[in-house]
Amino acid sequence: MLTSLGESDGPVIFRGCAVPYNETSRMLYDRARPYRERFVHGALQWSEDTVMLVQHDQRGVPLGRVAAGTLAFEEAAEGLMFRCNLPESRMDIREALERGDLDGSVSIGFQCEDDDWMHTKSASLRTVRKARLAEVSVVTAGAYRGARGYMKES
């Protein structure tokens, strides 16, 4: 559950798990054959250019960027954790999170460098072993149940 913003004027931090390791995604349909996906521990590498977006929209101003110090990542046993200092100018995102219009779901954009596939008659399972993280996005529906954030005032 997301915490309330309250009346503080301090920075609002959106934090949580960008990718839960070894959790299988919901069925994905962005390829010719349906598949599920999972990431092994430590699969993702981020850079100074990694950003936080809204709905994977690269046309807008990012909510945070690693190089600016407004977005950070950390490896944990359960997954790749993130922390983003939301801009004061994005009250629309803060309000949507507070009201529950956005439930804290996040999704990532990445370039895969190493993966394995297992195929069955009805679907496939992709295991991502190494990938470059381009962005994490606040979304209306993510691929992983465990990929969520919550708001916290610092």
Per-residue pLDDT at 116: 97
Per-residue pLDDT at 152: 81
CA 71, CA 92: separation in Å to the nearest integer?
A: 19
CA 85 to centroid of chain Cα atoms: 14
pTM of the complete model: 0.89
Q: Average pLDDT of each block of 10 consecutive residues along the chain (154 residues)?
A: 37 93 96 94 98 96 97 97 95 94 97 96 94 98 96 74
What is the DSSP-derived secondary structure letter of residue 144?
-
Per-residue pLDDT at 154: 58
Per-residue pLDDT at 10: 55
For the chain, first and last CA: distance in Å?
17
Per-residue pLDDT at 8: 41
What residues does each domain of the chain span?
12-20+40-153
